[in-house]
Amino acid sequence: MRKLKNSELVRLSVPEFKNTAKIPVVIVLDNVRSLNNIGSVFRTSDAFLIDRILLCGITATPPHKDIHKTALGATDSVDWNYFPETEDAILSLKKEGFIIVAVEQTEESTGLDAFRFNRDKKYAFVFGHEIRGVQQEIVDLSDLSLDIPQFGTKHSLNISVCVGMVLWEVFTQKGLSGDGIA
């Protein structure tokens, strides 16, 4: 087997990406402090044609060299908005008809392996601060919570890993993997 060259990969240009239909998913970053995590979320959101990212609270915004280091240009392709307060972002999404999903370990959270996404619904996934997680006030505003089952000694996954796992699950469950968006 031969590794493909970048020139052999069929990829969209930024203008083509902007004009391509996106999956009805928004990522909300609730006070994420790591610029590298933020950049990674942009890059993953580009890969899965995510509608947009909402950066909230202390979450840094582009342009920033440390975000760019991991985003590799995805800050140009993926739409984003900044909200000083995460609550305002959530209330705005609720008005747009999004189901708000806190990706957080709660008393009532559903495991990612057990959750079934509705292909006809719009989802906003909230990911929180690397140490404190999603703010309780935001969990309270959420329609449900989702967690990723873990079996080792650590209590959580890195946020960029978590985002990738959740988006891949959404992408495959909505039947979008393989031939792209139907």
Q: What is d(CA 119, CA 180) in angstroms, rounded to the nearest whole number?
A: 14
Confidence of residue 119 (pLDDT cuts 50, 70, 90): confident
Does the N-terminal peptide bond of residue 62 adopt cis geometry, omega within 30 degrees of 0? no
Structural domains of the chain in order of their starting residue, each with its CATH number: 11-173 (3.40.1280.10)
Q: Quote the pTM value.
A: 0.94
Q: How far apart are the first and last CA of the chain?
A: 30
Across 121-149, average pLDDT: 97
Q: What is d(CA 13, CA 33) in angstroms, rounded to the nearest whole number?
A: 30
Confidence of residue 176 (pLDDT cuts 50, 70, 90): low
162, pLDDT greater than 90: yes
Burial of residue 82, with CB atoms counted within 10 A of its CB: 0-12 exposed, 13-18 middle, 19 or more buried: middle
